[in-house]
Amino acid sequence: MSAAAELLRGAGLVKRFGGIVANDAVDFAVGEGDLVGLIGPNGSGKTTLINVLTGHLAPDGGQVVLRGRPMRGAAAHVYAAMGVARTFQLTQLFARMTVLENLLVPGLTRPGSTWQAVARRARTTLEFLNLAHLEQLHAKNLSGGQQKLLELGRCLMLEPAILFLDEPFAGVHPHLRDGLIKRIQELHSAGRTFVVVDHDMESILRVSQRLVVMARGRKIADGPPAEVREDQAVLAAYAGL
Amino acid sequence: MTIGMRGLHVYILLAAAALALVFADRLSSYWMHVAIIAMFYGILASSWSLLAGYVGLFSLGHMAFASIGGYTSGLLVQWYGIPIPLGMLAGIAVCCALGGVIGWVCLRMSGPYLAIFTLGFAEIVRIIFATEDDITSGMAGLHVERLFDTPSRLPYFYAAFALLAVSLLLMGLIVRSRWGLFLRAIREDEQAASASGVAVARFRILIFAIASGFAGLAGGFYGHYIGILTPSLGGLDFMAVLVVMTVLGGMERLPTAVGGAFAVEFLLEILRGYGQWRLPLFGLLLLLTMRFARNGLLAPLWLQFVRLGESPAVTATAAQDVPQKEPGL
Amino acid sequence: MTWDYVFIQVANGAVIGIIYALIAVGVTLIFSILKIVNFAHGDLYMLGGYCAYYVITLLGVPPLGAMFVSMAVIFALAIILERLLLTPLYDDATERKDEYGLIVTFGLAFFLRNVAVMVFGPFPLKPPSFIPGVQRLGGLVITNDRLFAGGVGIVLIGALLWFMHRTIWGQALDAVSQSRESAAIVGINARRFNSVAFGIGAALAAAAGALIAPIFSLAPDMGVLPNIHAFVIVILGGMGSVGGSILAGLLLGEAENLFTAFFPDPTRALAYTNAFGLLVLMVVLVFRPQGLFGRRHLRME
C-alpha cells in the first residue's frame, strides 16, 4: 500500500455462496492515487471481492471502510454517491437508452446537479472517449469495445474518487485496448484511483503499480509487480491450474 | 417547415382537447358514456405503463388498486357522509400507502415472479370484497353515491376529462424529469442503475405508490360515476383488458398507452354486435401485437406525430425516442 | 366434528394434492426447457377437461379412454400454440424475453378462457363418473372418482419419471434443460424439444382436467386457481424438482382441505381457502423472490 491516505479498506471480508467460500478473510486496502492490478485464476474470488467492495454484495464477515467510515451493509448507490464507481465483467449498460442518456443517469444522481451542466459534462466525456458522434444511438447498438468505453464514461460521470474496472480489456479489439489503457493512464495521472481486474497480464502490468493476486478466495500476494511476479505462491497458484 | 414548428403535436393535441370540451354537449348520452369510460381506462393504462413500461414492473394488481380506491371512497362516504371528493382523496391515500407496501415487499422480485405475486394480491383483494358481504354487499354490488346529482352525463365528462388531464400532466412531469430517466435505467439494469447512484429500492417503492394512487383515483371516480361497485372490477378479466389496451397502444409511453385505452374502448363499443366474442378477439389482437409489433401499434404513429413540425434534417438525426426537455406530454 | 370427518378431508386433500402436482409438474417441465412461466397452464387444464367431456358425451368413448384422447388433442394443440407464439423466445434477436413470455402466456390465458366461455358456455358442466359409487372404510367415505383420480394421477407422474429417466427422449430433454449449448453440440435439436416439453406439460394438465371434471365440474374459469396453485407448488417444492412438486402438491392439498374443514365460518370457508393458498404463495415469494426454480434445470428424484 502506498504512503498516500487510505481511501477504501476491506478488512477480513468473508463471502459465501452456499457451501462455497468465495472470499475467505480477505484484507484489501487502496490508497489515494493508487493504480492496483487485481489478478488471479478463474473462480479465485476477484469479482466477488469487487462486488463486496462496491456495495453490490453484503459481506458475511468483515467490513468495508470508505474514507474512514464503516459502511455497514449500505446499498450500492450510497457507495456511488461517495465516489466509488465500477464497471461490470460483462458490460452492463442501459441498453435501450441512448449513449448520452447512459451518461446523464449517473450525472443527475449527483446532488445539486442541473440538466444543462450534466449534459455539457456528458458531451465532454463522450469526446474524451471518442464516442461523441454516437450520442443519439441506443447503447445496445454499440460495438463491444465502444460499450466498454461507454461504461467507463458512465463511471466518470460520478466524478469518482476510485474506479473498479472488472476485466476492461476482455474482448476488446487490440486497437481499442491501447486507447483504453491510454485513457486509464491519463485519468490516473489526473488523480483518480483505479483497481483493475483482468486476466490479461500484459495489459495489467502495463498499467499497474501494485499487484494483488487472489487464489481460491484468498489474497496470496500484494506488492510491486516485479516482486509479485517472482513470488513462489503466485507461480504455484497459476501452475496449479 | 422550420425547426420553429417543433412541438407542433402539442398544439394539435391542445386544439383537439379544446374541441372535445366545446362540443362535448353534442355527444349522445351513449357515446358520452363511452368517452367517460375511455378516460377512466386512460388513467389506468397510463399509470400502469408507468409501472410496467417505464420501470418494467409487470404488476397484475393494478385493477385491484382501482377496486380498493373505489370501495374505500364508496364506503367512507356511505358510513361517515363525508364529501365525495374527500372520499376519493382517502381512496388515493389508501392506495398510495398500500401500493408502497406492496412495492416494498416485492423489491427483490422481478419479471414473472412479481407478476405472480401481484396476481396473488389482486385475487385476495377480490375474494375479500366478494366474501365480506355484510360490508361490501359482495357480488350483489355496493351502491355508491353518485358524484353529481343529475341524470346528465356532461358533468361526468368534464370531471373525467379534468382527472385524466391532471393525471397525465403529473405523470408526464415525472417521466420527463430526471426521475423518468432513473426509472428507465432501473428497467434496463437494476444493478447498473445502483452502481450509477440511483436509489433503486426507493424509486421502485415510490413508483408503486404513485401508480397505485392513480389507479385508486380512477377507481374512485368509476364508483361514483357508475353508482355500483362489484368485486370483479379488481378481477383478472379487467386486468387483462387493461393489459390489452396498454400493450396494444404501446406500454413504454404514456400517450400511446392512453391511445390504446381509447382505441380499445371505442372498438369494444363498435363491435358490441359481436357480444362476448369481443373478449377473445382482443385476446387474439394482443397476441398478434406481441408477436408482430412488440412496441405497440400506436408507437410508430406517435413518433411520426411528434415529428410533424420538424424539418426533415432534424427528423433524420433524431433517432431518439424520448426527448428530454420538450414541454408537453 | 368427528375424526371421520377429518380423515375424509385428509383423503380428499391427498387426491387434490396429486392433481395439483400433476399440473405443477407440467409448469416445471415447461419452465426448465423454455425458461418461461406459463400463465396459460390452467387454461390448458380447463380445455383438457372440456375435451374429455365432449369425447365422452358426443363420441361415447369411456371416460378413461376420453382422458387419453384429451391428452393427445391438447398435446397437439399446445404444440401448435407453441410454434405460433413462443418461437420468438428462441431467437437471440428477441429482447426482454421474460416480458415477452409473460405477456404472451397471460394473453393466451385470457384468449382461451374467453373462447371457452363462448364455445362451451359459462355454465358448469359435469361429465359422467369414471367409476360410479363410493368406498367405505369404517366411517371413512370416499368417492370412487376421487380414488381413481388420485391413482391415475400417480401413475401419470410415474410415467413421466420413467419417460425422463429411461428413454432417450427424456434424457435428451434433461440435457437441453441443463444446457442448450452442450445439447446442441451432441446433436440434439433443442428447438424440437421446446415443442415436446410444452406439449407434454400441456397433456399432463389436460389429464388433470379430465380427472377432476367428474369431481368438481367444468367451467371456463376453472383453470385460474389451479394455475396459481401450480405456481405455489413449484415454488414450495423447490427448484424444478419433480419429487418436491409431488410433496408440495400433497402439502397444499391437505393444508387447504383442513383449512376449509376447520374454518370457523362455514359460509366463508371455501372463499378463504383460496385466499389462504394465495397468501402462502405471496409469503413464499417474499422469502424466495427468485424462488421458482432458482436452479434452472430439471431434477428427477
DSSP string spanning A59-95?
Answer: -SEEEEEETTEE-TT--HHHHHHTTEEE--SS----T
Q: How many residues comprise chain A?
A: 241
Joined together, the cell numbers standing for residue B222 give 368509476
Which residue of B lies nearest to A86 if distances are taken between CA atoms? B195
Q: What span, in angstroms and rounded, lies between the C-alpha atoms of C165 and C247?
A: 19
Chain A residues in contact with B318 by the CB 8 A cut-off are: 136
* Interface predicted TM-score of the whole assembly (ipTM), two decimals: 0.91
> Does the beta-carbon distance from A93 to B188 stay under 8 Å?
yes
What percent of chain B shows pLDDT beyond 70? 92
pLDDT of residue B4: 57
Beta-carbon neighbour count of residue A117 at 10 Å? 13
Residue A1: pLDDT band (50, 70, 90) is very low
Residue C281 covered by a domain:
yes
A103: which residues sit within 8 A by CB, 6+ positions away? A122, A125, A126, A150, A153, A154, A157
List the beta strands (DSSP E) in chain A.
Answer: 6-17, 20-31, 35-39, 61-66, 69-70, 84-86, 162-166, 193-197, 210-215, 218-223
Q: How many residues comprise chain C?
A: 301
Buried-state track A159-177, b at ≥16 Cβ within 10 A, e below 16: ebbbbbbbbbbbebeeebb
Considering only CA atoms, which of C266, C211, C208 is closest in space to residue C233?
C208
Chain A residues in contact with B250 by the CB 8 A cut-off are: none
| Interface test mutation site (partner B, options A97, A116, A138, A156, max chain B beta carbons within 10 A) | A97
Highest mean pLDDT among B279-288, C26-35, C93-102 belongs to B279-288
Residue C297 covered by a domain:
no
CA–CA distance from C125 to each of C49, C216, C219 (Å)? Answer: 10, 9, 7
The region of weakest confidence among A136-140, A164-168, B20-24, C20-24 is B20-24
C-alpha atoms less than 13 angstroms from C-alpha of B297 in its C-beta half-sphere: 18
| Interface test mutation site (partner B, options A86, A91, A105, A164, max chain B beta carbons within 10 A) | A105
Q: What is the CATH number of the domain that holds C51?
A: 1.10.3470
Q: Please give the helix or strand (H or E) that residue C140 lies within, else none.
A: strand C140-143
pLDDT tens by residue, A95-126: 999 999 999 999 999 999 999 999 999 999 99
Strand order, beta sheet including A84-86:
A84-86, A162-166, A193-197, A35-39, A210-215, A218-223
- For C54-88, give the DSSP string: HHHHHH---HHHHHHHHHHHHHHHHHHHIIIIIGG
User: In this structure, are residues B103 and B256 in contact, taking their beta carbons and an 8 Å threshold?
Assistant: no
Quote the DSSP letter at residue C90.
G
Say whether residue A88 is in contact with chain B using an 8 A CB cutoff: yes
Quote the DSSP letter at residue A5.
P
Say whether residue A58 is in contact with chain B using an 8 A CB cutoff: no
DSSP strand pairing (A210-215 vs C140-143): unpaired
Instruction: Give the CA dihedral B25, B30, B34, B39, nearest 10 degrees.
Output: 30
pLDDT, mean of residues C81-94: 88
Beta-carbon neighbour count of residue B29 at 10 Å? 10
pLDDT reading at B19 higher than 50: yes
User: In this structure, are residues C28 and C18 in contact, taking their beta carbons and an 8 Å threshold?
Assistant: no
CA C183 to chain centre: 27
Q: What span, in angstroms and rounded, lies between the C-alpha atoms of A58 and A64?
A: 10
pLDDT tens by residue, C33-53: 888 899 999 999 999 999 999
Q: What span, in angstroms and rounded, lies between the C-alpha atoms of A43 and A47?
A: 9
Arithmetic mean of pLDDT over chain C:
85
Residue C273 covered by a domain:
yes
Distance (Å) from the alpha carbon of B290 to chain C's nearest alpha carbon: 7
Q: Structural domain boundaries of chain B?
A: 29-239
User: In this structure, are residues A105 and B192 in contact, taking their beta carbons and an 8 Å threshold?
Assistant: no
pLDDT reading at C3 higher than 50: yes
Question: What is the pTM assigned to this prediction?
Answer: 0.90
> Does the beta-carbon distance from C282 to B120 stay under 8 Å?
yes
Beta-carbon neighbour count of residue B48 at 10 Å? 31
pLDDT of residue C293: 46
pLDDT reading at C238 higher than 70: no
Residue C94: pLDDT band (50, 70, 90) is confident
* Residue type (1 letter), A145: G
Beta-ladder partners of A163: A85, A194
Q: Coil, strand, or helix at residue A164?
A: strand
Q: What span, in angstroms and rounded, lies between the C-alpha atoms of B70 and B43?
A: 14
Q: What span, in angstroms and rounded, lies between the C-alpha atoms of C262 and B276?
A: 40
Query: Is the C-alpha dihedral spanning B261, B263, B266, B267 positive or negative?
Result: negative
**Within chain A, what is the greatest distance between any pair of CA atoms?**
54
> Does the beta-carbon distance from A109 to B320 stay under 8 Å?
no
Q: Which residues of B touch C (CB under 8 A)?
A: 56, 58, 60, 105-106, 108-113, 115-117, 119-121, 123-124, 127-128, 130-131, 236-237, 240, 243-244, 247, 276-277, 279-280, 283-284, 286-287, 290-291, 294
Q: What span, in angstroms and rounded, lies between the C-alpha atoms of B155 and B221?
A: 12
List the 117-156 stretch of A: residues with Cβ below 8 A of B.
136-138, 154
Q: Please give the helix or strand (H or E) that residue C275 lies within, else none.
A: helix C266-287
Q: What span, in angstroms and rounded, lies between the C-alpha atoms of B37 and B233?
A: 13
Q: Which residue has the cell 379487467?
A: B238
pLDDT of residue C144: 85
pLDDT reading at C290 higher than 70: no
Distance (Å) from the alpha carbon of B278 to chain C's nearest alpha carbon: 9
Number of domains in chain C: 1
> Does the beta-carbon distance from B120 to C228 stay under 8 Å?
yes
pLDDT reading at C296 higher than 50: no
pLDDT tens by residue, C243-277: 778 888 888 888 888 888 788 887 788 788 888 88
> Does the beta-carbon distance from B109 to C114 stay under 8 Å?
no
pLDDT reading at C138 higher than 80: no
Q: What span, in angstroms and rounded, lies between the C-alpha atoms of A118 and C145?
A: 71
C286: exposed, middle or buried (Cβ count in 10 Å: 0-12, 13-18, 19+): middle
Considering only CA atoms, which of C26, C73, C20 is closest in space to residue C201?
C26
For residue A143, report the phi and psi dihedrals to the nearest 5 degrees. -75, 165
Residue C50 covered by a domain:
yes
Q: What span, in angstroms and rounded, lies between the C-alpha atoms of B221 and B95?
A: 14
pLDDT of residue C82: 95
Q: Which residue has the higher pLDDT, B138 or B201?
A: B201
Domain span at residue C19?
A: 3-287
Nearest to C118 among B112, B119, B280 (CB): B280
Joined together, the cell numbers standing for residue B323 give 426527448
Q: Which residue has the cell 444522481?
A: A109
Q: What span, in angstroms and rounded, lies between the C-alpha atoms of C163 and B216?
A: 50
What percent of chain A shows pLDDT beyond 70? 97
Residue A239: pLDDT band (50, 70, 90) is low
Number of helical H runs and strand E runs in chain B: 15, 2
pLDDT, mean of residues B39-44: 97
pLDDT reading at C4 higher than 80: no
Beta-ladder partners of A210: A36
pLDDT reading at B324 higher than 70: no
Q: What span, in angstroms and rounded, lies between the C-alpha atoms of A85 and A70?
A: 18
Beta-carbon neighbour count of residue B150 at 10 Å? 10
pLDDT reading at A2 higher than 50: no
pLDDT of residue C67: 93
pLDDT, mean of residues B70-82: 95
Q: What span, in angstroms and rounded, lies between the C-alpha atoms of A80 and A55?
A: 9
Nearest to B113 among C109, C115, C289 (CB): C289
pLDDT reading at B167 higher than 90: yes
Beta-carbon neighbour count of residue B10 at 10 Å? 15
Q: How many residues comprise chain B?
A: 329
Q: Which residue has the higher pLDDT, B329 or B98?
A: B98
Q: Which residues of B touch A (CB under 8 A)?
A: 178, 181-182, 184-185, 188-189, 191-201, 317-321, 324-325
pLDDT of residue B318: 40
pLDDT of residue A141: 92
CA C281 to chain centre: 16
pLDDT tens by residue, B130-156: 998 888 888 888 999 998 988 889 999
Q: What span, in angstroms and rounded, lies between the C-alpha atoms of B163 and B218?
A: 8
DSSP strand pairing (A69-70 vs A61-66): antiparallel
Q: What span, in angstroms and rounded, lies between the C-alpha atoms of A1 and B54?
A: 45
Nearest to B109 among C224, C275, C289 (CB): C289
pLDDT of residue B1: 40
Residue C239: pLDDT band (50, 70, 90) is low
Helix/strand/coil (H, E, C) string of C187-234?
Answer: CCCHHHHHHHHHHHHHHHHHHHHHHHCCCCCECCCCCHHHHHHHHHHH
pLDDT reading at C181 higher than 70: yes
pLDDT tens by residue, A12-37: 999 998 788 889 989 999 999 899 99
Q: What span, in angstroms and rounded, lies between the C-alpha atoms of C118 and B52?
A: 30
Packing angle, helices C242-262 and C144-166, rounded to 10:
160
